[in-house]
Structure 1
Amino acid sequence: MQTSFEPFNQFVERYQKFVVTTHVNPDCDALGSAIAMAKMLRGRRKQARVINSDPTPQRFAFADPHREILVFGDEVKPEPDEAVIVVDVGDLKRLGRVGDFLSQNPRPFACVDHHKSNTGFAEVNVLRPDACATGLILADIARDWHTSMDKELASALYLAIYTDTGGFRYANTDAKTLATASDLVNAGADPSYLATQFHENIPVGRVQLFCRVLDNLHYEEDGQVVWVAVSLDEMNRYGCDRSDIEGFVEYIRGIESIEVAVLFRESDPGKTKLSFRSRNEIDCSLLAGRFGGGGHLHAAGANLDVPLDEAIQVVLPHVREVVARKAEA
C-alpha cells in the first residue's frame, strides 16, 4: 500500500548520502527538525550531515548537544554525490547561502514543510500546511519508517513541536499534537529540561533590549496595532544577536485589544526583517506576501532591501488597511 510519503520515501531510497538544511537565522523548531531528519536518515543506514547557512545561535546551543550542525563555507557544502533535504522552509530564498549554492550547483533535493506559503520549490515536496510544526510531519514519517525512537531523536522532535506551537499555546495545537508530544516524552524527551533551556537561560543583554522595546511601543488603529523597531546599533549596544529578538513580537501580540503586532528589525545596513503576528481572522501570511515573504495564518515574516525607517513607512499603511478592512467587515 502506498502512503502519503511514498514519493519522499522513493527519493530517500535513491541516494546514500544526504545534506539536511534549514532556513537562515535558525530557531529551535528549525534546528530540532534538521537534527531529527538527519538522525532518521542515519536510522535507515544513510549518511547525513546538517549544513546551515548561519551558525546556531548561542542561546539555542542546547538543541545541538553533539555540535553536529556545520556552517556553510568554501570547505563545507553539499558534495556532488549528496542529495539535499530542506526542512521547515517555504521558499528557496530562505536558505541563504545554501540556497544560492544550490541555484548554481543543482543537487537532487526534497522539502518537508508546513508553511501554507510554501512555493513547492523542491523536486519532491512533503507539504502539510495543517500540521502545527514540521517536527510533527517528521514524527509521522518516523512512524511510517518504523524508526527506532531513542531519547535524542524524541528530544529533537519534541523541541521542534513545542517551540512551533508556542509551548502548546497556539491555535494550531490539537489532539494529535499533544498525543505525539506524549509519545515523544514516553520515548525519552524531557519536557522540563527542554522548556527550561528554551525559556530560562536568558542573557542579561536580552532583558535590557526587551526593556527598551517595551519602552518604545507604538500603538495605532485604536490600540489594534502595535509595532516596534530595533536597530543594529541597539542590538550591538546590549550585546544581542538575532536570536535574542526571538519571542519579542509574540509577547507584544499578547497585549489586550491587539489584532496585529509588527516587529521591524534592521538585519543588515540598508535591510529590514519584518515579523508579523496576529490574532483572530487577520492572515499574516497574506500580509507578508505583499513584501515577498510568507508563513502562517497568525505568524509570518518577510525581508525588505530598504533601511529601517523606510520599511516602517512602506509597511504600516498595509497593516492599517488590513485592520480597517476587518473592522468594516
Structure 2
Amino acid sequence: MSMDGEKTGIVFNIQHCCIHDGPGIRTGVFLKGCPLRCLWCANPESQLAHPQVFWDERKCSLCGACVAACPQKVLSVSDGKVRVKPNTCVGCGSCAAACPLGAREMTGKRLRVDEVMREVLEDRIFYGEDGGLTVSGGEPLMQAEFTLALLRAAKEAGITTAVETSGFAAWETLKSLAPYCDTFLYDIKAVDPQKHLRYTGVNNAGILENLKLLSAHFPQCDIWIRTPLIPGYNDSEADMALLADLAKSVPTASQLHLLPYHDLGEGKREQLGEGEAFRAEIPTAEHMERLRDLLRSSGVGIAVL
C-alpha cells in the first residue's frame, strides 16, 4: 500500500453496508472535524477534529469516578448530572477509562490508512459493480492528506470511491482529491448566501465556486447535489428555485437529493456537554414530494430524489 498506509487520521465511525452514501452498497468512513456549524447538525461529535467524550445519563450512577480521574479537573457532579466546564475538556479519555458502567465513552480514534482499508477490503464482497468506499465526516477535506491516502489506497485495490463534502475548502484541496474520486456527494445547505451564513456560520461563495470548478475541470467525476431540508429554514419555494438554478449550472451533476430533517441527533449535544439540542419540525412525506415536484417542474433535467 506504499507510504500511504502509514498516514493517520481521526475517525469517529466506520459503517458497513451503507445504501444511502453513494452508488451501490458502500463502506462509510466518517472523519472528525468540520468548519461548518449547521444549527441542525445530526452529528455534532464530528465537528471538533480531536477525540471527545460522550456521557450517557441513563447508564450513570453518579459515583464520581470520572470526576476523580479527570486530570484537567473540569468535571463535577451537581443537580443529578455530571457537568463539564464549557470548552475545557481535552478529550484525553481518562474519565471514560475510569467509568465502571460505561456511561462515558470516547468518540474519535486515530487510525492508519491500512487499518481502515482492512475493514473496507472485508466488505468488498458486497460491493458488486457499483459499491465501494465513501469518505464522509464531518468534513473530509479538513483531513485532506488522510482522505487522499484513503482514496488512493482504494483505487489501488480496484474499489470505487466517493467523497461527501460541503465543498468548504481551498480549490487546490478539492482539486488534489478529484483524480481519485468517482462520485462527489456535494452537500448544499442553502443556496441563499445570507441563509447559509446564518445557519452554518460560513459564507457559501467558495462552496458554490468550487462546485462549478469541479464540474468544469473533472467531468469524469459524477456529482450528486444533496440538500438537507429543514422546515422553516431552507424549504421555501424561493429556496427551491435557487437550488434548481444551481443544479442547472452544473453539467456533470446527475442527481439532486432532498434529505428530510430527522431528530436522531437531538440528544447528542447534551451527551457532549454542549447545551440544548436543536429542534425543528419533521417534514411530512407529502411536503417532501411537493418540493421535489417543484424542482422537477423547473426543468432541472436530472433525477430528483
TM class, shorter-chain normalised? under 0.3
Higher helix share: 1
TM-score by length of 1: 0.24
